[in-house]
Amino acid sequence: MFYQIRHFSLAISIGIGLAVFTGISRAEEGHVLPKSKALAHYIMAVMDDLNGDDEQAMKEYQKSLKFDRSQPITHLRVGAYYARQGRLPEASRELKTVVKLSPEASPAHYLLALIYSAQKKYELAASEYEAVLKTASRNNPDNIEIHAYLAQLYYALHKYPLAIEQLNQIIQAQPTNASAYYLLGSIHLDLNHRQEAKEAFRKVLAIEPNHDGALNSLAYLYAEEGVHLDEALQMARQAIDLAPANGAYYDTLGWVLFKHGLKTEALMALQKASTYLEDPIIYDHIGDVYQALDEPALARKSWMKALQLDPKQPQISQKLENLNRRSASAIPEVNFNPTK
């Protein structure tokens, strides 16, 4: 849902219009200057907008722009209208005009950021959020929400140092912000900074003990390292209790059980994970369990499924190659000496 400008009061809307429509001078009798006409249509549009008549408001905004295209607020309202209608290309065009006319127009940058995010144009969205952040920081240095949005975008773009910088600013202002610590842990996990990731997830749980994401992530890290497996099992089960339809959490449970040596229970959990989520990691784990259960054909099938979902997994290709070698060496040699 895009930001709606309609909640402005009539007085504020008209006041803003009067403030930005510069160059209006006293009209001579019988003659109305073009910018006065623009303002008149703008005021009519605001009234129609507040009354919920979008179609008529849009007509008046367009008439206003016909007489004066230099007013950012009119383009902003037209852009917001297009955004509400889902007409994103037209909305972007109008909002870019706002930014060109008024580079520090935060509402336009913010709406553009939302549009770019919806279009998965994350680099462009990050640029717009940066523009909002620069303006907001001058007016309100503790604008945590914008820092959080920017950190998430940088994370999605794999610009980890920039994301960490934003998160550190959030944590400095709000030392008990569990969401910031969780994203920080996820970044360290992506960077394979396991110790830093564990520290971040522990901080999350110290602040919010029922944070299912942190419970799952820390349990998985423990399973990967083969440490604190009893605690990992408890955390994995707690995460599932909090989010019982999350396939990734069942994968973690299955992996912890496997590391515990509970192969049959592990297989059941991993198979349940695959009913919620088709992920190569899950099928890789299932293949590992089948191999441990001495079921090479089923292991091969699971690993092949993992490669089908993501062919760029050399470690799984190596497992299949090793399995094929073992299978070939297990075939007994047959000496065929026909008698004459």
Q: Give the residue with greater pLDDT, 337 vs 44.
A: 44
Whether residue 236 has pLDDT greater than 90: yes
Contact in structure between 45 and 15 (CB atoms under 8 Å): no
Q: How many domains does the chain have?
A: 2
Asked whether residue 284 is domain-assigned, the answer is no
**Per-residue confidence band for 339, with pLDDT thresholds at 50, 70 and 90:** low
Q: Residues with Cβ < 8 Å from 251, sequence gap 6 or more?
A: 269, 270, 273, 277, 279, 281, 282, 285
In this prediction, residue 54 carries a pLDDT of 84
Asked if residue 15 and residue 104 are part of one domain, the reply reads yes
Task: Tell me, yes or no, whether 3 and 95 share the same domain.
Answer: yes
129 and 6 belong to one structural domain: yes
131 and 154 share one domain: no
Q: Is the pLDDT of residue 31 over 50?
A: no
Domain extent, residue 178, equals 141-209
Q: What CATH number is associated with residue 164?
A: 1.25.40.10
pLDDT at 34: 62
Task: Verify that 135 and 195 share a domain, yes or no.
Answer: no
The answer to whether residue 276 sits within a structural domain is: no
Q: Please, which pLDDT band fits residue 8 given cuts at 50, 70 and 90?
A: very low
Q: Is residue 264 included in any domain, yes or no?
A: no
- The residue among 139, 168, 191 that closes a domain is 139
Q: Look at residue 304 and tell me if it is in a domain.
A: no
209, 233, 258 — which closes off a domain? 209
Q: Are residues 146 and 121 part of one domain?
A: no
- Are 14 and 126 found together in one domain? yes
Which span out of 66-80, 110-124, 182-196 was modeled with the highest average pLDDT? 182-196
Domain closes at, from 209, 226, 261: 209
pLDDT digits (tens, 9 = 90+) for 182-211: 999 999 999 999 999 999 999 999 999 999
Rg of the chain, C-alpha, whole Å: 30
CB 81 within 8 A of CB 3: no
Residue 150 maps to a domain = yes
- 76-110 core/surface letters (b: 16 or more CB in 10 A; e: else): bbbbbbbbbeeebeebbebbebbbebbeebbbbbb
> What does the pLDDT look like over 295-338, one tens digit per residue?
999 999 999 999 999 999 999 999 999 998 887 765 555 454 55
Q: What is the dihedral of CA 324, 330, 331, 337, to 10 degrees?
A: 140
On whether both 90 and 193 belong to a single domain, the answer is no
CA distance 181 to 168: 9
User: In which band, very low, low, confident or very high, does the pLDDT at 126 lie, cut at 50, 70 and 90?
Assistant: confident
Residue 69 placed within a domain: yes
Q: Judge whether 167 and 183 are in contact, CB under 8 Å.
A: yes
Is 46 in the same domain as 110?
Answer: yes
Express each pLDDT in 277-290 by its tens digit: 999 999 999 999 99
- In this structure, the answer to whether residues 133 and 160 fall within a common structural domain is no
Question: What average pLDDT does this structure show over 154-159?
Answer: 87
Claim to verify: residue 3 and residue 131 sit in the same structural domain? yes
Looking at residue 25, its pLDDT comes to: 36
Angle made by CA atoms 116, 119, 125, in degrees to the nearest 5: 20
Whether 314 is in a domain gets the answer no
Same domain assignment for residues 5 and 95: yes
Q: Is residue 249 part of a domain?
A: no
Alpha-carbon dihedral sign for residues 18, 74, 11, 29:
positive
Position 161 confidence tier, pLDDT thresholds 50, 70, 90: very high
Q: Quote the pLDDT of residue 22.
A: 39
